[in-house]
Each structure stands twice: as structure tokens, then as C-alpha cells.
Amino acid sequence: MSDDSFEKRMREVIIGEIEQPTIVIADYNPEWPERFRQEEVRIRAALGEAALSVEHIGSTSVPGLAAKAIVDILVAVEDSGEEATYLPAMEGAGYILRVREPDFDEHRMLRTPEKDVHVHVFSAGSAEIERYLLLRERLRQNEGDRELYAQTKRELAKQNWPTMEHYAEAKTEVVEDIIYRAAAARSSHDGVR
């Protein structure tokens, strides 16, 4: 994707100002899972049965993995495109809608005012849910891929990025390779049965 088309897409999906963050990769913090549990309670209290699943994803969900100190959470709802079924409750719980991507599986991203928790909302059955979980499990179980990912993030964090999305885009090739290996390993394992 060219810089111009990437910039155009960003302006279409980001709600509010486009921010230029300083990206800091921190050593693993054993408090991250507890922070997830606190947010899970908050999300489930806000959404009730509308939250079909709530998962800790991203680097903070992988013990031992260096990460930005942002806890990523995946929430599955019946239809993430139907914002009225969850967005008012999430906003009432203090989350702020930051990203709306209708043409990316109706992905929505909300965050805390402190910007230290990102909640990714997808419709149940979205292929993206499976991809996030595949990546998480692979990084939890495979030291080589965990080290590769940590090294990649540390190298990329040394650069100046116009936005967090540019940094995330720069990791795409490595992430896709890890997901590919995870899917191949699962298929191989499933074929053994």
C-alpha cells in the first residue's frame, strides 16, 4: 500500500486526531494479565450476554514477551457492525471509540482515556478472531517465534513512525509469517489424529 493510500485509509477509519506516538517496547510485566482480568470484569459488566467472548490478545498476553504497555483485548459480539448493541454500554463504562473499519470485518477499536487498553470488537465467527488467537498461542508456545517477534518490535521501535498504525503495518510481514507457521503446525497436528 502506498503512503498516500495508507494515509487516506487512516483518515477514513480513525476517529479523532491522528496521533504521533512514541513507541516504547517494555520488558514483560507480570501485572498485565491482572490488568486484563480487571478490564474483562468491566467489559462483561457493561455488555452482559452481548459479550460472547472476551480474550486477552497481543503481546501483553504472552508471558515473557516484550511489548508496548498497552493491554489488547478482543471482544466478540453478535454483529460488530450494529454499534447500538454494544457501543453505548462500552462508552458508559469509560471506553472511547477510536477506530471504525467497516471493510475490515466490521472491526471497531475502543480504548481507555489513558490509552493503555485497546478493545478490539469483531463479530462472532470473524476469521480475524481465529488469527489473533492463533498468533497468541504460537507466541506462547514457540520460543523462536516469540524471540523473532520481540526483536522485530524492538528494531521497529527505534524508528520514528508518523502513527501507531504505521508501526503496526511495518510488523505485518513477520506477524503473517508467524500466523502461517501456527496454522501449518495446527494442520499438521490435526492430521496426526
Please report which confidence band the pLDDT of residue 22 belongs to, taking 50, 70 and 90 as the band edges: confident
Give me the half-sphere count of Cα atoms (radius 13 Å) on the Cβ side of residue 81.
Answer: 6
The pLDDT tens digits for 48-78 are 999 999 999 999 999 999 999 999 999 999 9
Tell whether 193 is covered by a domain.
Answer: no
Tell whether 86 is covered by a domain.
Answer: yes
Count of beta carbons in the 10 Å neighbourhood of residue 141? 12
Tell whether 68 is covered by a domain.
Answer: yes
Tell whether 82 is covered by a domain.
Answer: yes
How does the average pLDDT of the chain come out, rounded? 93
pLDDT of amino acid 87: 98
Is a pLDDT exceeding 80 seen at residue 20? no
Q: Where are the beta strands (DSSP E) in the chain?
A: 53-57, 71-77, 96-101, 107-111, 117-123
pLDDT of amino acid 89: 98
pLDDT of amino acid 3: 60
Query: What does the buried/exposed string (b/e) look like for 145-173 if buried means 16 or more CB atoms within 10 Å of the residue's CB?
Result: bbeebbebbeebeeeebebbbbbeeeeee
Is a pLDDT exceeding 80 seen at residue 125? yes
Structural domains of the chain, count: 1
- Which pTM was predicted? 0.91
Tell whether 90 is covered by a domain.
Answer: yes
Is a pLDDT exceeding 90 seen at residue 17? no
pLDDT of amino acid 91: 98
Tell whether 44 is covered by a domain.
Answer: yes
Is 98 exposed, middle or buried (CB count within 10 Å of its CB: 0-12, 13-18, 19+)?
A: middle
The pLDDT tens digits for 141-150 are 999 999 999 9
**For residues 12-22, average pLDDT:** 80
Is a pLDDT exceeding 90 seen at residue 164? no
Percent of the chain with pLDDT over 70: 96
Nearest to 109 by CA among 93, 87, 124, 82: 87
Query: What does the buried/exposed string (b/e) look like for 74-85 if buried means 16 or more CB atoms within 10 Å of the residue's CB?
Result: bbbbeebeebee
pLDDT of amino acid 180: 96
Is a pLDDT exceeding 80 seen at residue 187? yes
User: Which residue type occupies 78?
Assistant: E
| C-beta pairs of 35-43 under 8 Å, 24+ apart in sequence | 35/60, 35/71, 35/116, 35/117, 36/60, 36/61, 36/71, 36/73, 39/71, 39/73, 39/117, 39/119, 40/73, 42/93, 42/94, 43/73, 43/75, 43/90, 43/93, 43/119
What CATH code is carried by the domain that includes residue 96? 3.30.460.10
Percent of the chain with pLDDT over 90: 80
Tell whether 179 is covered by a domain.
Answer: yes
pLDDT of amino acid 4: 67
75: β partners: 54, 121
The pLDDT tens digits for 95-116 are 999 999 999 999 999 999 999 9
**What range defines the domain where residue 125 resides?**
3-186
Tell whether 191 is covered by a domain.
Answer: no
pLDDT of amino acid 162: 85
